[in-house]
Structure 1
Amino acid sequence: MGFLALFMVALMPVLKTLLLTAVGLILALDRINLLGPTARHNLNNLVFYIFSPCLMGAYLAKTVTFDVMVNMWFMPVNILITFIIGSVLGWILVKITKAPHNLQGLVIGCCAAGNLGNLLLIVIPAICNEPKNPFGEYSICMADGAAYVSVSMAVGAVYIWSYVYVIMKISAEKTNRGERTDSHHSVVIIRSCDAASENTEPLLLSKVGETVSKLEKIKNSTFGVVRRMRSINLQMLFAPTTIGSAIGFFVGLVPLLKMLLVGTEAPLRIIYSASEILGGATVPCVTLIVGANLLRGLRRSGISVLLVIGIMVVRYIALPLLGIVIVSAANRYGLVGSNPLYQFVLMLQFALPPAMSIGTIAQLFEAGEGECSVVMLWTYAVSALALTLWSTFFMWLVL
């Protein structure tokens, strides 16, 4: 296929995503107000606790088998590499731009986590559905593509909710502790000023303030590890999405369970069917939420332009170039097989915009929502061109 034909194949799924995002933005307008702050928060909780776990479980139970996992062993490694390199580049970006403490977790998270689930769930079927797609007939393309997307979604979700979630939570807690510390010092200063005005002992109060400050530091250093362990609790590490993925893997890898739950003749197929229906709401809901959150980015910007540009450079220039090197090297040493669609998905995992779950996490912590909206606004707007160009180039490379 020519470059222009490949470009049109890659453009269609991106346009579909942007169209759904635009609908979410319209629903959040004050005149319509169907996706106001309260509605978005409640819908986020539904996605987090119900829709996303059901989607992961249903997709994995249907597509995953032992042979599939053996053939795709490199994909979890590839995704882990994207997270590690992205987070390192994000940390460098934070240091270079001297990002505020309350935004450091958000910046690192946006650089580390790509949209490995929802966007691929739209992109791959859309490419397979194109009459002139380079990966063969629709049935063959979708059979392979569904397995790749399901594993990518599951592994990405595990990494996001056990890695990026931790980073953003720790960042939010540090910000809250810093605000409490500033408030405490302000009270000490005010009391010192009052004491001085009443001709009391200012030096004594100053020493008391210093003693309190030292005790706070000792307390923080002594119990810091304990607080950190409490913050990284089982509820965080085993988020609903992670549990849903684990159940899906288990059902897919155990033939007896798969026979009982999956298929038109399965005795317990009603359970799988219900999960599949609930999971089907994940992609439209999350995409609508992102669109609704973009409204805040259009109205108010709490993040510097340099940080937004830096995130886009990491996600759309540095990571894709490194991805080409890594996947090409893996292919050269026989680690990824010869399936061009598999190689394409591995490369595409390096070129995706930030994960929509970043917005969900920011909203769950009620920290950096406006700044996250700005990042999502511009990264997804630029992705229309960047993702299309990289998808076209990746298809040209693997064919």
Structure 2
Amino acid sequence: MALLQLFITASIPVLKVLLITALGSYLALERVNILGEETRKNLNTVVFYVFSPALVGTNVAQTITYDGMIKLWFMPVNILITFIVGSVLGWILIQLARPPPHLRGLILGCCAAGNLGNLLLIIIPAVCKEKGSPFGVPDVCHTYGMAYASLSMAIGAIYLWSYVYNIVRISSKRSTQDSPQSLKEPSESNQIEPQSKSKNCLVRMFQILNLKTIFAPSTIGAIVGFAIGVIPQIRKLMIGDGAPLRVIHGTTNLLGDGAIPALTLIIGGNLLKGLRGSGIQKSIVVGIIIVRYVFLPLTGILIIKGALKFGLVHSDPLYLFVLLIQYTLPPAMNIGTITQLFGAGENECSVILLWTYVFATVSLTLWSAFFMWFGARQV
């Protein structure tokens, strides 16, 4: 496949994302006020609790089987590696840039957590439908691509809410550690008996784990989808033209179709905040862009080449493309939601998201074209 054709094939889905994002930004303008801040919050709530779980659950249920899970075991490991490598690079960036303490969790989160759900759910189907795609028949490509993207979204949500949520929470509390109330706590706790101390430790452990955020609606949707897909008896009841309960799957699938356009419009509206700017150091923004679009993709190529050499992954071009693209995505949009929850670095996060998503249009196109070529060579 010619390099120019690969570039065109890779650029189309990115341009689609950019156009819908631009529409979202336009609708969020004050003079238009169709997608204002309150509207975005309400729409985001519907997407979070209804559209996204439906999308993830239906795609996982339809395409993931027990045998398929055995073949895809490397994807959770691969996503974990992206978080680890991104965190290490983020820590190096913090040592170089010396940001305020309350922004350190934000920087680590932006370097570690990519948009493993929303963008893949948009990019993969668009790439499959393009002429000259190296991934075979469009319908088959779409089916398996959505399974890979849905699994990526589910795993990414677990890592995001269990890791990034807590590092932002910890960094946001650093400014209050020296408050009078916090200074009293050690002396008071010294008077508590050992058995009461044990109870407090258990309570604090569960607060740190915060199971409610780990099991976000999309994660629950993925778990339900896994159960339906992996257990043959349930699968026969719900999946297929002759399934007795196929209306449930069809209704859920209809709800899930609203997730992608709604999510992309919300992204555009949220990025508008970044245009107003903040006092964040330019070196931090530039550093995050370099981490996510230079060092992480290069690391990903080495890791996937090693995995292929040792037989850890099968040489399916589409599967390899998804594994590689996971290293190239801009920061997860839910990081903005997390900063809003704790009131730590909300404006700075908007600026980071704005510029990383602007540069993503170029980076994703270039890396996607290269990854298509790379995957096709492994067959």
> TM-score, with normalisation over the residues of structure 2?
0.90
Structure 1 outlier segments of 4+, above 6 Å: 220-225
Q: Which residue in the other structure is 2:193 paired with?
A: none
Separation in 2, partners of 1:342, 1:288:
28
- The alignment status of 1:215 with 2:193, answered yes or no, reads no
How far apart are residue 286 of structure 1 and its match? 2.1
| Local SS of the residue matching 1:39 | helix
Asked if 2 retains the 8 angstrom alpha-carbon contact of 1:125 and 1:142, the reply is yes
| Local SS of the residue matching 2:330 | coil
Q: Which residue in the other structure is 1:250 paired with?
A: 227
- Residue deviations 1:80-128 (CA, integer Å, cap 9, x gap): 1001111221122122211222222211111111111111111111111
How far apart are residue 227 of structure 1 and its match? 4.0
Change (3 A) 1:347 1:22: same
How far apart are residue 28 of structure 1 and its match? 1.0
- Residue deviations 1:362-391 (CA, integer Å, cap 9, x gap): 334444332221111111110111111111
Read off the aligned partner of 2:97 and give its amino acid letter. Answer: T
| Local SS of the residue matching 1:334 | coil
Asked if 2 retains the 8 angstrom alpha-carbon contact of 1:290 and 1:359, the reply is no
How far apart are residue 253 of structure 1 and its match? 0.5
| Local SS of the residue matching 2:119 | helix
Q: Equivalent of 2:359, from 363, 371, 382?
A: 382
**What residue ranges of structure 1 are gaps of 5+ in the alignment?**
185-211
Separation in 2, partners of 1:92, 1:38:
37
Separation in 1, partners of 2:50, 2:141:
29
How far apart are residue 225 of structure 1 and its match? 8.1
Q: Which residue in the other structure is 2:95 paired with?
A: 95
Q: Which has the larger radius of gyration?
A: 1
Q: CA RMSD, aligned part only?
A: 2.2
- Residue deviations 1:322-357 (CA, integer Å, cap 9, x gap): 000000000011111121221121111111111122
- Residue deviations 1:180-201 (CA, integer Å, cap 9, x gap): x55x5xxxxxxxxxxxxxxxxx
* More displaced stretch, 267-276 vs 368-377: 267-276
Asked if 2 retains the 8 angstrom alpha-carbon contact of 1:290 and 1:376, the reply is no
Read off the aligned partner of 1:119 and give its amino acid letter. Answer: L
Q: Which residue in the other structure is 1:232 paired with?
A: 209
Q: Which residue in the other structure is 2:325 paired with?
A: 348
Q: Which residue in the other structure is 1:172 paired with?
A: 172
Change (3 A) 1:337 1:44: same
Asked if 2 retains the 8 angstrom alpha-carbon contact of 1:161 and 1:242, the reply is no
How far apart are residue 162 of structure 1 and its match? 2.0
- The alignment status of 1:300 with 2:277, answered yes or no, reads yes
**What residue ranges of structure 2 are gaps of 5+ in the alignment?**
191-196
How far apart are residue 300 of structure 1 and its match? 2.5
How far apart are residue 360 of structure 1 and its match? 2.8
- The alignment status of 1:106 with 2:106, answered yes or no, reads yes
Change (3 A) 1:50 1:219: farther
How far apart are residue 218 of structure 1 and its match? 4.5
Q: Which residue in the other structure is 2:257 paired with?
A: 280
* More displaced stretch, 48-57 vs 103-112: 48-57
Separation in 2, partners of 1:40, 1:228:
34
Read off the aligned partner of 2:362 and give its amino acid letter. Answer: L
Asked if 2 retains the 8 angstrom alpha-carbon contact of 1:286 and 1:356, the reply is no
Separation in 1, partners of 2:201, 2:279:
30
Read off the aligned partner of 1:373 and give its amino acid letter. Answer: S
Q: Which residue in the other structure is 2:59 paired with?
A: 59
Asked if 2 retains the 8 angstrom alpha-carbon contact of 1:308 and 1:378, the reply is yes
How far apart are residue 224 of structure 1 and its match? 8.3
Q: Which residue in the other structure is 1:125 paired with?
A: 125
How far apart are residue 283 of structure 1 and its match? 2.0
Q: Which residue in the other structure is 1:269 paired with?
A: 246
How far apart are residue 258 of structure 1 and its match? 1.4
**1:309-324 to 2 correspondence within 5 Å?**
309-324=286-301
Q: Which residue in the other structure is 1:260 paired with?
A: 237
